[in-house]
Structures are given as structure tokens and as C-alpha cells.
Chain A
Amino acid sequence: MNEASPAIPAHKDYTGAKLGMWLFLLSEILLFGGLFILYSAYRYRYAADFHQASREMELFLGTLNTFLLQTSALTVGLSILAIRRGNRKQSEYLLLGTMVLGLVFLGIKAGEWLAHIEKGFYPQSPALLARPKGEILFFSLYYTMTGLHGLHVLIGVCVLATMWIFLRREKLNRSYFVPLENSGLYWHLVDIIWIFLYPLFYLIA
């Protein structure tokens, strides 16, 4: 190396980073989209059974979870806004709040699942297999879709926890925040998917 070679600043491409994230999110939309298509096809064929099976859902808990997730979308958005304005502490607390809301969501969801299982409604259970075909399909879709969604919430909490550590170590600041921005996009997508799961499973009884 001779001394004439110029120092190259780290390359940071804001639009490129976000585009990469969006491409991933769009593939996620197609992944869940397939399940939504499956749901609508079976709901069309077994409308009465779906109505009946939906009575097993805890409407209050589902609505509470919807509220929690939608509020967590606000806190993650505000966390990004805070770091963009240089308020690191505020950003940390809002991110922490988002993670807590996500974990409470998962706790309630787990409680609901346990209650269903206690009643004997789980895949291949005798109590479920004795029900009409449409109700069996409803529960299969319920476990698959809310399970896959719950997995996304869990991954989202882990990603946000990583961002929280980045914030603590001052790796993110008002001029470099795109990892947090992209994590926020992921969290919002998880929220949007729930927005559709909520009416499809809880509001059709």
C-alpha cells in the first residue's frame, strides 16, 4: 500500500438496505398469503363449521392481544423516531416497551393454546376428530397460522433485543439507524398479519 491510496469511508446505502428488507417482507406476505388462500377456500366450503368452531375462540383475549400488538407498533415507530432525533435513552425505553408488549402477546397466545389443548382440541385429538370435518380444518388452520405468526413475534422480539443491545453500545445513532428501521418494518409486518388473523379466527362466530 502506498500512502497515496485514499481512505474509503464505510459504504452505507440507506435505500439499498431498506429495499433488501422489503424484498424479504414481500416474500413473507406471499408465505402467509398461501395460508390465507387455503383458509378462504376451506371457509367457503365449510362456512357453517367454521362459524361453529370459531365459538371456541376467546374473543376478549383475541381483542386484547390485537390491542397489545397495535400498541407495540406505535412504540417501535416512536423508538425509531427518537433515535433519529438523537434521544438514545428514549429510544431504548420505547424499544424495551415494544419487547414487553410482544412477550405479553405471546404469553396470552400460549394461554389460549393451552386452554384449547385442555379442552381436548389439538391436532389429531379424539375430541377434535369426533367433530365435523370443517371444524377440524378450522383448528388445523388456527394452529398453523397463529403458530407461524407466534414464531414471527418471537423472532421479532429477538431481533428487537439485538437492536436494543446495539443502542446500548451506541452502535446506532441519529445518522445511522437503518438496522433499527428495518427491524421496525419487520415488526409492523407481523402486526399487519395479525390484523387479518384476528377477524378470520375470532370474529366469524
Chain B
Amino acid sequence: MEPQRSQSETLSDGRNGDNTAGYKTYILTWLAIIALTGITFTLSRMGGGAIVLALLIAGTQAALALYFFMHLWTETARVFKILIPLVLVILVVLLSLVFSDVAFRG
């Protein structure tokens, strides 16, 4: 009979988990996100911060959080790599359709 594998053993095989992500990864991600908040705050105080730039910075922060904090970088199940971008694409399609309607309405 095969020896029973506990979940932690499965994880240390590199499947399903992020045993390579240590404290350092989390702290560096946090520092990057905080630094970007500082940049977007400073830009807006200087009056040069266009909303597009602020949203680009927010998008970068969200991507960092998704990738490192939410473990997408170590997720091996393919379903995550398909589902999440798919929903984001749906959102962008909805946004652009509504926006094009509003912008070209008489």
C-alpha cells in the first residue's frame, strides 16, 4: 500500500502551494505597494497627477497583490490562470461597451 501523503508533503512538492515564498517576498511586495501609494499621493498633491496615471498605479498595485499576496504566481492549477483573466476581460468589455454608449450618445 502506498504511504499516505499529507497535504504538507504535497505542498512541499511544489504543487498547490508556495513553499518558496518567504517572509521576504511578502515584505518586499508590501514595500512596493506602499511606495506606489506614496507616489500617487505625491503626484496628486503636486497637481500633476492625471486620473489615468493614478489608475495605472492602482492597477500595478492590484497586480502585485494578486500575484504575490494572493499566490497566483505559485498556483499550478491551470483553471486559475484561465478564470481570473477571463473575468477581467469580461469587465473590460462591459466597461468599454457602456462607455462607448455614453460617450457617443447625442
Contact = CB atoms under 8 A, between A and B. Distances in A.
Interface in B17-76: 17, 19, 21-23, 26-27, 29-30, 33-34, 37, 40-41, 44-45, 49, 51, 54-55, 57-58, 61-62, 65-66, 69-70
Interface in A68-86: 70-71, 73-74, 77-78, 81, 84
Nearest to A43: B51
A93 interface: no
B33 to A, nearest CB: 5
B94 to A, nearest CB: 6
A12 B16 CA distance: 13
A183 to B, nearest CB: 12
Interface residues of B, dominant DSSP? helix
Interface stretch (A103-111, A122-130, A135-143, A189-197): A189-197
A192 B65 contact: yes
Contact of B34 (A12, A14, A70, A202): A70
Contacts of B98: 37, 40-41
A188 B69 contact: yes
Given A37-B98, A195-B62, A14 B16 contact: yes
Contact of A19 (B30, B80, B94, B99): B80
Interface residues of B, number: 50
17 contacts: A18-B80, A19-B77, A26-B83, A30-B91, A33-B91, A37-B94, A59-B45, A73-B30, A73-B33, A78-B23, A84-B19, A184-B69, A188-B66, A189-B70, A195-B61, A199-B40, A204-B51
Interface of A: 9, 12, 14-15, 18-19, 22-23, 26, 29-30, 33, 36-37, 40-41, 44-45, 59, 63, 66-67, 70-71, 73-74, 77-78, 81, 84, 174-176, 184-185, 188-189, 191-192, 195-196, 198-200, 202-205
